[in-house]
Structure 1
Amino acid sequence: MEVSKLQKKFDQELDLGKQHFDNKEFSLAFYHFERAHILGQPRYSWHVKSHYWMFKIGLRTINLKEILGQMIRIIGSAGSLFGKYPVGNTGGANVSPFKAMPIPDDLKPFFE
């Protein structure tokens, strides 16, 4: 089975986030996990992975709001199974889990 362009980009963003996470560059890691979240929302397992890594950042930075927010969002990721999710939402606890947001211009081609 050929890997889609969307999956390649999702994997790339997730991998960049993990590299920054390993280097304790948590702001940069979070940025890439947000981008992975935008790309991964339509696929349940991808959606959960992006929230899992945001949760790990919350743990590592001892950010209670992010930890609790990600726990809720991991459960809420089940919406992807039914096509129910706010398109473009970046997935962090700093935004409403119900708010649709504009997709960054460089990510739009992956949704066409």
Structure 2
Amino acid sequence: MQRTFTQKIAPYVNAELANSKHANSIGDSRLEFTYLERAHVLGQESTFLHVKVHLLMLAWALRNILTREVIGQIIRTLGALLVTPLGLVPLGNTGGANVSPFEKMAIDPELAALIKKAKTGK
């Protein structure tokens, strides 16, 4: 049985989410969000993972009492749910409210290699 992109990329996304959780446990909220951004870049072509990461970003914003980020994440979560299945995601976008939800961004080479591996097996 052929594994889907979501199944192939999930271990890499989950590793970033584990790093994010660890950063939270040591009280480093900025580092926590950095790992959420990395998870976003990796998982944004999977509707399930894309929405999951935005919900975690929303939880982060709520914990940190950042109104602009809360509003941005609500909008981005709905957008991820609606546009990801259509393939309309700006690749490389880090997913925070500090960037346009439509902006395509350069992908860190390390993350690009993981995405390529998940897509092609190479």
2:26 aligned with 1:23: yes
Query: What does residue range 27-38 of structure 1 map to in structure 2 within 5 Å?
Result: 27-38=30-41
Instruction: Tell me the residue number matched to 2:77.
Output: 74
Instruction: Tell me the residue number matched to 2:87.
Output: 83
Structure 1's unaligned 5+ residue stretches are none
Report the 3-state secondary structure (helix = DSSP H, G, I; strand = E; otherwise coil) of the residue aligned with 2:24.
helix
CA distance in 1 between counterparts of 2:107 and 2:79 reads 20
CA distance in 2 between counterparts of 1:93 and 1:54 reads 10
CA distance in 1 between counterparts of 2:25 and 2:14 reads 16
RMSD, matched Cα: 1.4
Structure 2 counterpart of 1:108, from 97, 101, 112: 112
Q: CA deviation at 1:20?
A: 1.5
Aligned length: 111
Q: Tell me the TM-score normalized by structure 2.
A: 0.85
CA distance in 2 between counterparts of 1:23 and 1:111 reads 29
Structure 2 counterpart of 1:95, from 99, 111, 114: 99
Structure 2's unaligned 5+ residue stretches are 117-122
Larger Rg: 2
CA distance in 1 between counterparts of 2:27 and 2:53 reads 17
Q: Tell me the TM-score normalized by structure 1.
A: 0.92
Q: Contact (CA 8 Å) 1:21, 1:57: kept in 2 or not? A: no
Query: After TM superposition, where is structure 1 displaced by more than 3 Å over at least 4 residues in a row?
Result: none
Supply the AA of the counterpart residue of 2:107: I
Which string of whole-angstrom CA distances, capped at 9 and with x for unpartnered residues, describes residues 35-81 of structure 1? 00001111111001111111111111110000000000000002111
